[in-house]
Amino acid sequence: MAMIECKDVSKWYGTFQVLTNCSTTVEKGEVIVVCGPSGSGKSTLIKCVNALEPFQKGVITVDGISVGAPKTNLPKLRARVGMVFQHFELFPHLTIIDNLTLAQIKVLNRNKEEASVRGMKLLDRVGLTEQAAKFPGQLSGGQQQRVAIARALSMDPICMLFDEPTSALDPEMINEVLDVMVQLAKEGMTMMVVTHEMGFARKVANRVIFMDKGEIVEDASKDDFFGQPRSERAQLFLSKILHN
Amino acid sequence: MDLDFSIVTRSLPYLWQGMKYTLQLTATSAVGGLFFGTLLALARLSPNKILSNVAAGYVNLMRSIPLVLVIFWFFFLVPLIAQGITGSERPIQIGAERTAMITFILFEAAYFCEIMRAGIQSIPRGQVHSAYALGLTYGQSMRLVILPQAFRNMIPVLLTQTIILFQDTSLVYVISATDFVGAASKIAQRDSRLVEMYLFVAVVYFVLCYTLSYLVKLLQKRIAVIS
């Protein structure tokens, strides 16, 4: 069974259509990179996967559970889907360790100590144990994003969604975040990643999805995509981002 | 003009009684107003049209009526409502002090609502998304993530509103509640020392409010540096 399945997903803002019949599947253990020009609907699509954005047509299932069905317990579903945002979105009023334990305690009902141990273990994994008592504002962008990844992992997710995780970072911090993501991919985490980091895609992606104007224009294996993208739009996009 | 300020020193214990009530009324109304105001703000921001319209209607009504009128209104209305609820034969008098408390909480809720609404809206949408993405429910997201930040951002405005509230509580003298002004006014009229008493009252209000405003300004600067 596919981990994430999108079938004919369409979404409108008023009369403006932002997604048009998007269909794709992400198998367990697969890493899918979603790219495309800005405004192509890639972030919107990934936010539909855990229902942060509602969609009007089509079906999305995560681990067999329909995201759009009214009776679906969304908090319960979201707790199992990790998400990392462009602007990190750590909680600025909480320390790093509290950011990591809040949802473990409130959603997974772990006790404080259990949650702390798990949190510290993940902080260690992203190399930030020394920052545990600090507040997000005291960390660099790259560090904050690594904390955000650790926070998502603390919930033991069955898959991870990344929404442009490096596009708000200074260039010298991009790699520290990508390294964590590559590591995660190699461990077999199911990942759906919206990014323009084609180096990352080449390294770990199984498939690349190219979106333009709300449509999935291309959904191909990594080698096919970089070797011989079929659509003109994808070719144009690749030539633009690879040549600068 | 012959001024005798010894009247002030002689009546200090009584004035202190009044001041205690003023402070108590201010504190209760601020806490109660903030609590109900926050609930109103959440209702106003709710996607549920009925809920948000009812809340908006309440806030607009309260903010369009002079406070004095609201105080009178409740002074006469609350006993009748209490009578209706308990089914008693006569209106139930609950006293000026308690009327004032209920009135101020309900009235201030409208103002605190608008402050908290602005505070909630000042938090980026991404914070709500990231709270939801972790599996927190709407209630948990608000209570643990959004409201603490909104509240913190709004502390200076909330305190300024509380200083205004502290001054506004003097209006309870219209229903003969003995607050600081009420106490001073009673002595002033008994001993015909209006100038001395009202001058003293004005100085006390000025010193307290000015100092507090100054402290709020300092606090505002500190918060601005942190964020």
Q: How far apart are the first and last CA of chain B?
A: 55
Quick one: pLDDT at residue B93? 81
Quick one: pLDDT at residue B1? 66
Find out whether A62 and A50 touch, Cβ atoms under 8 Å. yes
How distant is the Cα of B45 from the closest Cα of chain A, in angstroms?
18
Q: Which residue has the higher pLDDT, B80 or A87?
A: A87
Find out whether A196 and A40 touch, Cβ atoms under 8 Å. no
Quick one: pLDDT at residue B225? 55
pLDDT category at B41 given cuts 50, 70, 90 is very high
Find out whether A106 and A94 touch, Cβ atoms under 8 Å. no
Is pLDDT of B226 > 60? no
Is A30 exposed, middle or buried (CB count within 10 Å of its CB: 0-12, 13-18, 19+)?
buried
Is pLDDT of B212 > 70? yes
Which of B134, B137, B149 best probes binding to A when mutated, by most A CB atoms within 10 angstroms? B134
Tokens 């003298």 found at: B173
The residues in B 105-134 lying below 8 A from A, measured between CB atoms, are 124, 126-127, 129-134
Is pLDDT of B2 > 80? no
Q: Say how far apart CA B163 and CA B227 lie, in whole Å.
A: 24
Q: Say how far apart CA B76 and CA B21 lie, in whole Å.
A: 21
Interface check B223 vs A, CB under 8 A: no
Q: Which chain B residues have a beta carbon less than 8 Å from that of A81?
A: 133
Q: Which residues pair with A81 in a beta bridge?
A: A159
Helices marked H in B45-141? 49-64, 67-86, 96-121, 125-133, 138-140
Q: Which chain A residues have a beta carbon less than 8 Å from that of B124?
A: 87, 89
Find out whether B145 and B161 touch, Cβ atoms under 8 Å. no
Interface check B139 vs A, CB under 8 A: no
Average the pLDDT over B104-131 and give the result. Answer: 95
Q: Say how far apart CA A47 and CA A49 lie, in whole Å.
A: 5
Helices marked H in B122-179? 125-133, 138-140, 147-168
With an 8 Å Cβ cutoff, are B145 and A52 in contact? no
Q: Say how far apart CA A177 and CA A147 lie, in whole Å.
A: 10
Average the pLDDT over B5-34 and give the result. Answer: 92
Average pLDDT, chain A: 93
Is A133 exposed, middle or buried (CB count within 10 Å of its CB: 0-12, 13-18, 19+)?
exposed
Average the pLDDT over B9-35 and give the result. Answer: 94
| Percent of chain B scoring above 70 in pLDDT | 98
Q: Which chain A residues have a beta carbon less than 8 Å from that of B148?
A: 93
CA-nearest of B222, B155, B192 to B7 is B192
How distant is the Cα of A226 from the closest Cα of chain B, in angstroms?
32
Give pLDDT < 70 ranges for chain A: 243-244
How distant is the Cα of B152 from the closest Cα of chain A, in angstroms?
9
With an 8 Å Cβ cutoff, are A89 and B134 in contact? no
Q: Which residues pair with A61 in a beta bridge?
A: A5, A66
Tokens 């679906």 found at: A72
The pair phi, psi for residue A60, each rounded to 5°, is -125, 130
Q: Which residues pair with A5 in a beta bridge?
A: A25, A61
Average the pLDDT over B194-200 and give the result. Answer: 91
Average the pLDDT over B68-88 and give the result. Answer: 86
Q: Say how far apart CA B109 and CA B70 lie, in whole Å.
A: 13
pTM of the model: 0.88
pLDDT tens profile B131-177 = 999 999 999 999 999 999 999 999 999 999 999 999 999 999 888 88
Quick one: pLDDT at residue A244? 54
Q: Say how far apart CA B112 and CA B158 lie, in whole Å.
A: 7
pLDDT category at B75 given cuts 50, 70, 90 is confident
Quick one: pLDDT at residue A143? 95
Is pLDDT of B227 > 60? no
With an 8 Å Cβ cutoff, are A52 and B133 in contact? yes
Instruction: Count contacts between A and B (CB, < 8 Å).
Output: 68
Average the pLDDT over B59-74 and give the result. Answer: 92
Q: Say how far apart CA B112 and CA B118 lie, in whole Å.
A: 10
Q: Which residues pair with A194 in a beta bridge?
A: A34, A163
Task: Provide DSSP, A52-116.
Answer: SS--SEEEEEETTEESS-TTS-HHHHHHTEEEE-TT----TTS-HHHHHHHHHHHTS---HHHHH
- Residue A180 tokens, joined: 């964590």
Quick one: pLDDT at residue A190? 96
- Residue B19 tokens, joined: 């001041």
**Strands A31-35 vs A16-26: parallel, antiparallel or unpaired:** unpaired
DSSP state of A38: T
pLDDT category at B224 given cuts 50, 70, 90 is low
The pair phi, psi for residue A176, each rounded to 5°, is -60, -35
